[in-house]
Amino acid sequence: MALQSNQNEKDKAKARIVKLRQLIDEYRHEYHVNDRSIMSEAAADSLKHELTELEERYPDLVTMDSPTQRVAGTPLPQFSSVAHRWPMLSLNDVFDASELESWQQRVEKLLPGEKTTYFIDLKMDGLACSLVYEYGLLVRAVTRGDGKNGEDVTQNARTINSVPLRLREDASRHLLQGYTEVRGEIVMYKADFEQLNRVRAVEGQALFANPRNLAAGTMRQLDATLVAARPLQFHAYDLLREDMDDVPTSAASYEYLRELGFNVNTQAQPASNIAALLEFAEQWQEKRLDLPFHTDGLVIKVNDREQFDRLGVVGKAPRGAVAYKYPAEQATTVVKDIVISIGRTGAATPVAVFDPVVVAGTTVQHASLHNADEIARKDVRIGDTVIIYKAGDIIPQVERVLPELRPNGTKAFDFSAALARQHPDLEFERPSGEVVTRVKGATGPLLLKRALRHFASKGALDIDGLGEKNAIALVDAGLIQDLADVYTLDKEKLLELERFAEISAEKLVQAVNRAKRPALHRFIYALGIRHVGAQTAIDLANHFGSLERLSQATLDDLSAVDGVGQVVAESIVGWFGDADNLSMLEKFKQLNVEPVQALTAGGSLEGKTFVITGSLGEMSREEAAERIRALGGKVTASVSAQTSYLVAGEKPGSSKVKQAEDHGTEQIDEQGLLELLKD
């Protein structure tokens, strides 16, 4: 009897499990493929939880396609190599309308008298993956590899929510039989990529270069739990079976792929002639930038699969398909200067400074030239006209020099001479076998400790409790890897260090918080840009008004600032051209550090000059001065006929009060100052 009732219970559980799986899978499909939500995430999680419990009770009811099995298994020692049933081909590229036309004419010549139509899709910038289904069940996922053999990345692919573990039952039945291969592109959406990098910036980790590399790097992880934590997407573009009679065209295969439960690009469509192809190409050239994923062109195939097969393969590429590549976003400009920036690890990075030029929608005025060898290899000279492009649509790079446009009498760039001229106070070395030239004897941590000390010092951000010893301890403990990390310190982290106790940790955190809206000139000074002292920082803040504008200043803009000569201008442009510094600035932003313009023109106190004496209750004299400057006022040390107000706190200096009386200067107390500051 007991046995009987156990069996009953198990049957009930089994029926429930089947229904739960269906519903959870429906949720996943609607959410990740159709972009619709049939229930909240919390409700779906709750169903998953129930399913997990039932499966734990009846482990023999667990199946490979259960939603609980997306992340399973232990890290692999290595990927195994798998032969592709059909080779994974690559595509020949065409770069413009006339090349596309030649391809199309060649195709039509090889199919004399036949009607040919085309199928066109966006070319996604990710990595190709082949998914193998047997009797509807996902059994293997393989990368392209060399086209003949790829790596078995099944564990990783299973974690991708838009990869169905089982083909959808309501699809055409014949497709669920036997062996079915679905090929497509694994991509990371731009928004997800940016979000991941934002988090990394906050955590002080190095930023990922671009979504494609990140997607590819992620799929090469041996531990599938790491893959599961990264949002990847699969977009299908090909369906392969022994018997393709029921799938006569690419257009039909996209229909079937959708039915089987895959994401396919909704933009893909048939095109009957070259004019339609070109229209599509034109239409997407700009619009593609708004798509959620990166595209670098289009894929155009002969729509009829039988014709496609008949056209055959040359080398590794089919005759019946072609990639139409959009031009990488490029522009030409003239190199005005090459400045060498000393990074926070002491590395000397040459940066090319250009006449500003718009590339892919943003103004570019410098690009890293990486190192002395790169400059020599490309033979970039001051005065050269160069082609620049945005790699992965983001970071500007010099592609090459146009030697035809080189002015007479230029010389190859002399890296050592430039170093000596721009940084006469430093000594450099280039360890043998390395491409990087560094400040002699200065290790990264040593420079960072110095930079940190300067950052926190009185004249800079004045962060109490961040003196020499603490700076050393924080860097040594790895809590600070760049200046922005100062703002990530919290009590918990500090208490891990011997140097900190409850109160000292609390105090430092408070001091750091107070430095979250520093005066712009102090912040500029605190960055430790070489040759930018406190006075220059004030002049720069005054002139540019924001870090944003300073970061975009050209050599000419900078030279227009009083007291800024060539060496200073070069140093500033170089600093803002250094990718490390830019990612640090981005990190400051993410951490809500907002320098405020302390010396704005046009503020409510413009033209007013203050002298402060005695001690104030609510703020320090320094703070009061900052706030006056923030509204355009001036603060000087002694009273003169030009002084507008004498701010007298507790125990004011008697000589100042006397002078104010002599000049008939208005005297106000702290309250009066606060009133003025209100405006």
Contact residues toward ligand IVH (CB under 6 A) are 89-91, 121-124, 128, 144, 185, 237-238, 299, 318, 321, 323
Q: Which residues of 220-240 are buried (b: 16+ CB within 10 A; e: fewer)?
A: ebeebeebbebbbbbbbbbbb
Q: Which residue lies nearer to ligand IVH by CB, 215 or 526?
A: 215
Residues 6+ apart with CB under 8 A from 572: 529, 532, 540, 550, 553, 558, 564
Shortest separation between residue 94's beta carbon and ligand IVH, angstroms: 12
Q: Which residue lies nearer to ligand IVH by CB, 309 or 662?
A: 309
Question: Smallest Cα–Cα separation from 157: which of 119, 116, 128?
Answer: 128
List the structure tokens of 672: 């009066």
14, 19, 123, 316: the catalytic one is 123
Shortest separation between residue 497's beta carbon and ligand IVH, angstroms: 49
Shortest separation between residue 583's beta carbon and ligand IVH, angstroms: 29
Q: Which residue lies nearer to ligand IVH by CB, 216 or 473?
A: 216
Shortest separation between residue 482's beta carbon and ligand IVH, angstroms: 36
Q: What is the DSSP letter of 108?
A: H
Residues 6+ apart with CB under 8 A from 489: 474, 479, 480, 508, 509, 512
Q: Which residue lies nearer to ligand IVH by CB, 212 or 438?
A: 212
For residues 328 and 382, is the Cβ–Cβ distance under 8 A? no
List the structure tokens of 6: 């156990």
CA dihedral 560, 561, 567, 571 (to 10 degrees): -110
Shortest separation between residue 82's beta carbon and ligand IVH, angstroms: 17
Q: At what angle do helices 41-57 and 2-32 cross, to 10 degrees?
A: 150
Q: Which residue lies nearer to ligand IVH by CB, 240 or 558?
A: 240
Q: In what order do the strands lie in the sheet with 634-635?
A: 634-635, 609-613, 645-648, 666-668
State the residue number with the nearest CB to ligand IVH.
128
For residues 301 and 238, is the Cβ–Cβ distance under 8 A? no
Shortest separation between residue 142's beta carbon and ligand IVH, angstroms: 13
Q: Which residue lies nearer to ligand IVH by CB, 320 or 346?
A: 320
Active site residue 123: yes
Shortest separation between residue 298's beta carbon and ligand IVH, angstroms: 8
Q: Which residue lies nearer to ligand IVH by CB, 91 or 448?
A: 91
List the structure tokens of 539: 């002049």
For residues 265 and 185, is the Cβ–Cβ distance under 8 A? no
Phi first, then psi, for residue 240 (nearest 5°) are: -130, 130
267: β partners = none
Shortest separation between residue 252's beta carbon and ligand IVH, angstroms: 15
Q: Which amino acid is at 495?
A: L
Q: Which residue lies nearer to ligand IVH by CB, 318 or 343?
A: 318
Q: How far apart are CA 371 and CA 416, in angstroms?
A: 11
Give one word for 122, left, alpha or beta, with left for phi > 0 and alpha for psi -120 to 50. beta
**Which positions are annotated as active-site residues?**
123
